[in-house]
Amino acid sequence: MTTWHKKSISPFVHWLFGLGIVIGSTLSAFAITSVNGWMNLPSGFRIVGGKFTDIDVLGAMFSETSLVEFIHSMPGYYLAAAMVIAGLYALRLVRSKKDSKRQSMDLVVIKRLMVFSAIMLACSAITADITGKYLARQEPAKLATIEMVDKTSADVPFIFGGFEGPKGEITGPYIKIPSALSLLAGGSTKSVVTGLNDIPKEERPPSAIRPIFNLKLTLIIVITLVIAGYLIIWWRKPAWLRNRLALIIVAASGVLGVIVVEFGWMITEIGRQPWAVRGYVTTEQALTKTNDITTFGYVFPIAYVLLFSVTLLAMRRIIRDTTQKGKRI
């Protein structure tokens, strides 16, 4: 936005600036995910007599937990971003005049983003398997709560859907895949999965993460169907991609990736409760004792909503100016 209008800067250099943003935000995402990984499984230090010793900052940052979380969440973020952008382009196509030059360009952008989304979805699926095996080893309480494993045993089925009833039975519609959770957790149907009976009652995560996981899985299935459907239509009937209904579906599913990422964060965060830093600090202890923080807590969101809405207005104006008058800001 600030360099595009300068003719002296070549498109390649402009693209390089964009690449810098991608690399920077990816590193930033790694830093955030790494801290979260550390909270899920603290490492890189020892506590001797109430004091931290042998502090290994790099070891803590690049622990197995943070790497597993990173490779699973990063493709998810890229997928979410790509789908939002594709959705916005689809929305513009629905509203624009037919057969203009810009329209075919918009379609090219959507196609490329859909291919990118498909690759990212595949990466997420592969790393989801790694995450499952990691959870079974290092964070069994989370996995047991997500999948309602009451007793430690082998041959555990994977259950999709349903709610946990008052006596531990499953109510509502659900799909049961025999031995699938053992396969996911240990690579074999004979693998033993730790159940909730081996986890102290006060250290069990809230059962709320179970329905969140089901919702997440449902949305992932919807996203897979949308992307697969899009690619199949592109392959067999490319003309249909300009169809209003196809564009509306792409536009509507744009937000799904973001919701999936949110659900993923909710599962990892709520699934760690009652701990803030697992095994060391509970959330109750981590709460700040600063006075009036709740009063101030209302002011900040208001300021952010104000800032966000003004930014949206500004973006709208810039887009309108550049597209209508042919002028670049």
Partner 1 sequence: MIGALALFLIPTLLFVLAFLYETYLSLRRLKAPGTGRGGYLAATWEVTHTLLVFAVVMLVMLFTQSLDKLSDAIFTSTFLAATVLALRAALYVYIFYVRTTKKIGFIDWLFALSHIVAALLLVVVVLQALVFIFTTHPPINESFIPIFIPGLLGVIFICAIPIIMLYRTRR
Q: Which residues bind partner 1 (CB under 8 A)?
A: 2-3, 6, 8-9, 13, 16-17, 20, 55, 57-58, 288-290, 292-293, 296, 299-300, 303-304, 306-307, 310-311, 313-314, 317-318
Give the residues across from 160 on adjacent strands.
Answer: 175
Q: Among 214, 229, 20, 246, which residue's Cα sits nearest to residue 121?
A: 229
Provide, rounded to whole angstroms, the least separation between the CB of residue 64 and partner 1.
Answer: 21
Q: Which is nearer to partner 1, 222 or 306 (CB)?
A: 306
Backbone φ and ψ for 56, nearest 5 degrees, come out as -125, 90
CB-nearer residue toward partner 1: 23 or 126: 23
Structure tokens at 121: 């979805």
Q: Nearest distance from residue 317's CB to partner 1, in Å?
A: 6
Q: By three-state DSSP, how is residue 168 classified?
A: coil
Q: Which of 2, 200 has the CB closer to partner 1?
A: 2
Specify the DSSP class assigned to residue 42.
Answer: -
How near is the Cβ of 9 to partner 1 at its closest, in Å?
Answer: 6
Closer of 51 and 98 to partner 1 (Cβ): 51
**CA pair distance 296, 105, nearest whole angstrom:** 47
CB 292 → partner 1: shortest distance, Å? 7
In the complex, least distance from residue 53 CB atom to partner 1, rounded to whole angstroms: 11
Give Cβ neighbours of residue 56 (< 8 Å, ≥ 6 apart).
44, 45
Residue at token pair 């799909």: 175
Q: Report the alpha-carbon distance of residue 11 to residue 4 in Å, rounded.
A: 8
Structure tokens at 222: 């919807």
Cβ atoms of 83 and 223 within 8 Å: the answer is yes
Between 39 and 113, CB nearer to partner 1: 39
Closest separation in Å from C-beta 12 to partner 1: 12
Q: Which is nearer to partner 1, 222 or 318 (CB)?
A: 318
